[in-house]
Amino acid sequence: MKVLEGGVTAAKGFEAASCEANIKYKDRTDMAAVYSQVPCVCAGTFTSNVVKAACVMWDKEIVESGNPMQAVIVNSGIANACTGKEGFDACEATAKAVEKSLGVPFKSVAVASTGVIGMQLPVDKLVAGVEKMSKTLDGSIAAGTAASKAIMTTDTVNKEIAVSFEIGGKTVTLGGMSKGSGMIHPNMCTMLAFLTSDVAIEKALLQEAVSSVVKDTFNMITVDGDTSTNDTLLLMANGLAENKKIDTKDGDYETFKEALSYVCEFLAKKMAADGEGASKLFEAKVINAKTKDDARLLSRSIVGSNLSKAAIYGCDANFGRFLCAMGYSGADFDQNNVELFFESANGKLKVFDKGTPIEFDEDEALKIMQADAVTVFVNMNEGSEEATAWGCDLTYDYVKINADYRS
Amino acid sequence: MKVLEGGVTAAKGFEAASCEANIKYKDRTDMAAVYSQVPCVCAGTFTSNVVKAACVMWDKEIVESGNPMQAVIVNSGIANACTGKEGFDACEATAKAVEKSLGVPFKSVAVASTGVIGMQLPVDKLVAGVEKMSKTLDGSIAAGTAASKAIMTTDTVNKEIAVSFEIGGKTVTLGGMSKGSGMIHPNMCTMLAFLTSDVAIEKALLQEAVSSVVKDTFNMITVDGDTSTNDTLLLMANGLAENKKIDTKDGDYETFKEALSYVCEFLAKKMAADGEGASKLFEAKVINAKTKDDARLLSRSIVGSNLSKAAIYGCDANFGRFLCAMGYSGADFDQNNVELFFESANGKLKVFDKGTPIEFDEDEALKIMQADAVTVFVNMNEGSEEATAWGCDLTYDYVKINADYRS
């Protein structure tokens, strides 16, 4: 597997565009389009929030219907959630504008939104944006990068990646872009991810690969239930790599899944590190847990705790907070089996040993905690399952961003 | 029912003391004792965290054994959690010091701690503190107030209350003190509450009253599972009011339960409003929910969301965040039935009406949100159950307090 430059336009036959539609932001791009020259099989995962945005309901219908997908239109600034029938009509109007401009059936056009909840989208601006973008679609790396910037809200960096790999002598490419993150700002800052590939694969297997990979990547930066109204991941695969179609779980399927896992983990970690106001990446790795579910619960609970996050920000090796978060995670365990370490590029230090705190050198702990990425490493000593979760620290800037996000 | 001055010493036969034990804090009191002149029946509720502090295990044993309780010794500064056998030994040493000084069997002495997790308590200082306090126990209001101050950690005000009421012609008194809060600083800042009464009541009924009242008071500022390693509520009743002993669920029981509910709600709200860094009380009231559990889940999810809390701090009527928090609460509902209002001493404003946002006057919304106590009022229109939860806003100071709590 090779890591390439670019993102959604890296795979054969994919184009992208972006524009200033002035939906809510001024003087920046706020709409993006991803388009495949030929119809694609598609897979997706969506928010589990009971309150689903209009666009989520729209996309879910396409993915579940088995219709091909050929384009995705995304806007930033307004989320189109809690907007009733008018919100759903805005999705349809956008998709119909794509049908008119590009000749793609409107039931093959996905839409996604991120931003303020409870405000209606200006349909005229959306339609004008689609018309503009339909004239500038382009398969270059730059066009993909520009699209990844147009979907940002409070993100401080754009997020994209592409990889290539061999399947039966053919080069297959998989790329993607994402914005936001889940865990870090638990329920508002929507996580959107759009992946594109020229792999030839059956729809059911594509969905199975996506659902499986998401569990250990994107979902490990989002605590169950703590999901936005808009969270959406879509993968379009157009088959232009001309590999023998993957239609069973053979080695080719595993090769594809491995690449997908790499791309998703890369984007997930990048989102975690770019959490609102974040100053560092905060990772929790739990090994030797009784069950896989326990390992996931424990690691997510650690990175999700406000007090853990504040301690990581303050470079405070206050390991009790991490144990406390494990204690209310829902997983059952005996604290007398637990070993807890702090780890970073600057070293590794054991601070808790099977029920008893260890006296440690505060200067050494401080050095470890001051790194850009800090890991809490926990050995449960009760089984053989492991999981890793990613988050970020809790800072003054988080409060600042969210106290006046809407205005 | 009459509200009285004072707290834990208001009821007949109860005394309190406090002292500077220098356990971790300097130049302030950090130990407190509550003592009854005669043995008490007792009831308690404890943290559901898998990682329980040594003192929680100690007290649970006393409450469950059916032993009488006659004294509680509390320290602030160090939590005695994650401290292994040495931590449990510290509880026993403290209780034995009370036996030696006051002649109370050590198995009738409860202990409670709050502060940093993972540090051992200095037993010599605890024992010296007990000796000092045993000479200064005093039934005055001032002694109770001083005790309520000694148990504070990051609290900015002490919390106490007392009430009296009639049972069969006898005046019964119930008082209490508490510190910290649950929801507001979800997993660290321990909630401790100590209640004293001269009521004569059977142990089983006392426990039943406590367990029932806690659900709609203290637990509504603590999301399930998001509990500290140390959360403890203890109620001691010594029978000195000489009322006919409450031994069945009659009118007397209801009278007592009503007073208990008043006292617990008062202390719970006071803790919520004094959340770390808080600038205002944030209340969520949910009515007409399908089930009582749904009403509790929904209201707690609203006050527990970081983004809701940041919006309350910023006086931002960003109602989508509250709907989003409801959506991931675990309760099932249809957003097309929901009506949402902002309410405070400055007015009431509807902002969301059965699936559709309402255009509202931003100045009016701002005025409502600027009050010291703000309520999000939600009519689910799906049943007849209701619940209220309390929290506070998320501020810069929260981050500041928790980034360097340990040091």
Cα distances (angstroms) measured from residue B70 to each of B37, B102, B107, B141, B196: 8, 10, 9, 19, 11
pLDDT number for residue A173: 98
Which residues 315-354 of B are in CB contact (within 8 Å) with A?
316, 318-321, 323-333, 335-336, 351-352
Kindly indicate the confidence band of residue A223, based on its pLDDT and cuts at 50, 70 and 90. Answer: very low
What is the rounded distance in angstroms from the CA atom of residue A387 to the CA atom of residue A373? 17
Angle between the B306-313 and A396-403 helix axes, to the nearest 10 degrees? 70
Q: Which of A88, A230, A280, A306 to mutate to test the interface with B (most CBs of B within 10 A)?
A: A306
For chain B, the average pLDDT equals 91
For chain A, the average pLDDT equals 91
Nearest CB to A81: which of B117, B320, B331? B320
Contacts of B49 in chain A (CB under 8 A): 324, 327-328
User: Which value does ipTM take for this structure?
Assistant: 0.74
Please say if B190 is a catalytic residue.
yes
Provide the token pair at A102. 């590009």
Note the pTM of the prediction, 2 decimals: 0.80
Question: How crowded is residue B254: how many other Cβ atoms within 10 Å of its Cβ?
Answer: 12
pLDDT number for residue A186: 42
Which residues 239-298 of B are in CB contact (within 8 Å) with A?
none
Tell me which of A94, A190, A196, A388 is the catalytic residue.
A190
How many helices (H) and strands (E) in chain A?
11, 15
Across residues A280-284, what is the average pLDDT? Answer: 90
Shortest distance between the Cα of A330 and any Cα of chain B, in A, equals 7
Nearest CB to A320: which of B117, B226, B331? B117
3-state class (DSSP) for residue A124: helix
Contacts of B404 in chain A (CB under 8 A): 314, 316
Rg (CA), chain A: 22
Which residues 187-216 of B are in CB contact (within 8 Å) with A?
187-188
**A328–B50 C-beta distance less than 8 A:** yes
Q: Does A394 touch chain B (CB under 8 A)?
A: yes
- What are the strands of the beta sheet with A356-357, ordered from one edge? A356-357, A347-353, A339-344, A373-379, A281-289, A385-392
In 3D space, the residue among A317, A301, A380 whose CA is nearest the CA of residue A349 turns out to be: A317
- When comparing pLDDT for B329 and A277, which is higher? B329
B208 has a pLDDT exceeding 90:
yes
Provide the token pair at B124. 């010599």
Q: Does A305 touch chain B (CB under 8 A)?
A: yes
Q: Which of A55-69, A284-298, A335-349, A390-404 has the lowest mean pLDDT?
A: A390-404
pLDDT number for residue A50: 85
- When comparing pLDDT for B350 and A118, which is higher? B350
What is the rounded distance in angstroms from the CA atom of residue B195 to the CA atom of residue B54? 21
